[in-house]
Homo-oligomer: A and B are copies of this chain.
Amino acid sequence: MGSTISILIVSASPRKYGVARLVAEAARRMAIEIENVNAIKIDVYDYDIKPCKGCVSDDVMLCKVPCVYEDDMKKIYSVVEQADGMIFVSPVYWYNVPGPLKNFIDRLTVFENAIFIEGRSRLEGKVAGFIAVGNDTGALAVIQNLMVTLNSMGVAIPPWALAYHESEEDPIENKSFLLDVANVVRGVVLLIKALKGLEKPVYWYRIDQEYQRKVIEIFTNVANEFKKQKQTTNT
């Protein structure tokens, strides 16, 4: 019998074996192997997600489920709806999210706008966490935009809901980043449990040796798999 809790990892990277997707996969496994919840992941670059056409600006009552577009968001909407929590993993493009992630965010409007159509945002009470990775500065700007946006859609945010790696260095060398990623996953799951009345959180940021060992092991495994797949792809 699996957990009744499920989280969705949303990454946004054009690069199949880049850092963002690697972190997304590591986060997914941490959710499953450490937190014992269900977790799936998608990358917005793998789907056809049209830009929001702004119906809401013409008339707030026009923006309602189902969205006027018939594209891959159709199935993604149902994945989002079933998830108790979401974790975003974004690269930093000009101190901001890349365009395709912005399109995904904009298309969530139809769920938020349900507040006017159905009396309640379809995202209300879900939980989110935010991870940004880049070679340079700007991760914080990405995170603060995503955080305030999701919160404005009705989403709750656990303590320590952010992690960032701003460097050309291999993230595996950045132990505090790996721990932050793990604690984003942990926080999202703990808050979901608290909001469902399943478990009262005792403490949040976890840093014990056993945990660190497990986090680094998962991350190392994923990194090795990515390296192998990348080599296979290139040959």
Kindly list chain B residues whose C-beta atoms are within 8 Å of the C-beta of A141: 140-141, 144-145
Which residues of chain A have a CB within 8 Å of any CB of chain B? 13-15, 18, 45, 51-54, 57-58, 91, 93-103, 105-106, 109, 115, 119-121, 124-125, 135, 137-141, 143-145, 147-149, 151-152, 154-162, 164, 166, 191, 194-197, 200-201, 203-205, 207
Residues in B whose Cβ lies below 8 Å from that of A138: 140
> In whole angstroms, what is the CA distance A133 to B83 when docked?
33
6 A-B residue pairs with CB within 8 Å:
A15-B53, A45-B51, A57-B135, A120-B205, A137-B137, A141-B145
In the bound complex, do residue A152 and residue B162 qualify as a contact, i.e. CB atoms below 8 Å apart? Answer: yes
Residues of B within 8 A of A45 (CB): 51
B152 near A57 with CB under 8 A, answer no
Residue contact B200 to A196, C-beta cutoff 8 Å: yes
Q: Which residues of B contact A194 (CB under 8 A)?
A: 194-195, 197
Determine how close the nearest CB of chain B comes to the CB of A127; give it in whole angstroms.
9
Q: Would B145 and A95 count as touching, CB distance under 8 A?
A: yes
> Are A148 and B144 closer than 8 Å at their CB atoms?
yes
Instruction: Determine the chain B residues whose CB is within 8 A of the CB of A204 once the complex forms.
Output: 124-125, 154
Partner of A105, one of B52, B94, B120, B160: B94
Residues in B with CB closer than 8 Å to A147 are 144, 147-148, 151, 157
CB pair B99–A99 under 8 Å, yes or no, is yes
What residue of chain B has the Cβ atom nearest to residue A45's Cβ? Answer: B51
> Is the beta-carbon distance between A161 and B151 smaller than 8 angstroms?
yes
